[in-house]
């Protein structure tokens, strides 16, 4: 039998992005695993907007994706998970269940992106690229004092003063493959640069102009989380907001293309690039034009 008592975990990114994740009954163990993956702490389900996870009770299976219902008066969100007994499919729900988080991050000027997050002495760098671009391979080859924070998905949030931080997200494919890992989703890393990965015969980093970098961020956006019932006009506004956020991010952070080989020390090229002054970056752009 499943207990009817509710369990709650806090997910706090900043003062504008903070929720209680709540479940009861048969979803208590599912939420506990979800929280463990993101290293979330149990809390009392009071004072914060809630994402309340529920199981579909009746009716045919319409979709493998959760359904969300937004309560505007309370800022609470109901997330109804399809009733499926396959553990692997239930694990797929973890990623989809974060849709309200991605939407909120975008609404305050942030973005979700396919990228690895690496860090040296408290300074974070993104290695952006789609699946198969070499993010995980680069992370596995890092040498100290560089270290990997995550290797697949990242939330970028503004902190004010044209500065941004990065929050790691789990590598969901590893969860499906049964690996027991966790990621400190609530812990921000100060972001100092974005590198777009490209396989090459020689390790090399070169600066991107702002417009091209913004277009790349837009393309590498982890996903545009649209609900099925949104109007075409609202979809257009959300896409415009996404691109606007990308432009602001690239106006504040230096962006580069990184050619990385399988044997070279690509991290040294990162170190050289982020130590450049703005005039040096302009000289690079001129040299590559």
pLDDT value for 285:
44
Identify the residue with better confidence: 88 or 109.
109
Domains of the chain and any CATH numbers: 6-97 (no CATH), 109-288 (3.40.50)
The two three-digit tokens of residue 140, written as one number: 């596995």
The two three-digit tokens of residue 117, written as one number: 């997050």
Instruction: Determine contact, residues 103/225, Cβ cutoff 8 Å.
Output: yes
For residue 31, pLDDT beyond 90: yes
Provide mean pLDDT across the span 242-259: 94
Q: How far is CA 159 from the centre of its chain?
A: 16
Block residue for tokens 């990621």: 183
pLDDT tens string 277-288: 443 444 434 444
Instruction: Determine contact, residues 256/207, Cβ cutoff 8 Å.
Output: yes
pLDDT tens string 1-11: 455 678 999 99
| 65: confidence class by pLDDT, cuts 50, 70, 90 | confident
């Amino acid at each position: 039998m499943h207990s009817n008592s509710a369990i709650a975990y806090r997910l706090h990114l900043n003062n504008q992005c903070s929720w209680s994740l709540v479940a009861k009954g048969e979803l208590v163990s599912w939420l506990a695993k979800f929280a463990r993956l993101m290293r979330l702490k149990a809390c009392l389900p009071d004072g914060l907007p809630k994402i309340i996870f529920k199981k579909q009770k009746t009716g045919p299976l319409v979709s493998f994706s959760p359904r969300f219902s937004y309560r505007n008066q309370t800022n609470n969100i109901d997330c109804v998970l399809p009733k499926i007994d396959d553990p692997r499919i239930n694990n797929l729900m973890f990623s989809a269940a974060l849709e309200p988080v991605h939407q909120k991050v975008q609404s305050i000027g942030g973005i979700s992106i396919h990228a690895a997050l690496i860090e040296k002495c408290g300074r974070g760098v993104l290695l952006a690229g789609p699946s198969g671009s070499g993010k995980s391979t680069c992370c596995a080859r890092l040498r100290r004092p560089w270290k990997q924070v995550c290797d697949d998905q990242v939330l970028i949030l503004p902190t004010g003063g044209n500065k941004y931080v990065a929050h790691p997200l789990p590598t969901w494919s590893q969860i499906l493959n049964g690996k027991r890992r966790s990621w400190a989703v609530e812990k921000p890393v100060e972001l100092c640069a974005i590198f777009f990965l490209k396989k090459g015969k020689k390790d090399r980093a070169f600066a991107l102009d702002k417009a091209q970098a913004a277009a790349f961020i837009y393309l590498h956006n982890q996903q545009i989380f649209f609900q099925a019932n949104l109007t075409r006009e609202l979809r257009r506004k959300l896409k415009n907001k996404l691109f606007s956020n990308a432009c602001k991010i690239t106006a504040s952070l230096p962006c580069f293309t990184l050619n990385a080989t399988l044997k070279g020390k690509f991290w040294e090229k990162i170190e050289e690039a982020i130590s450049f002054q703005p005039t040096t970056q302009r000289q690079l752009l001129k040299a590559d034009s």
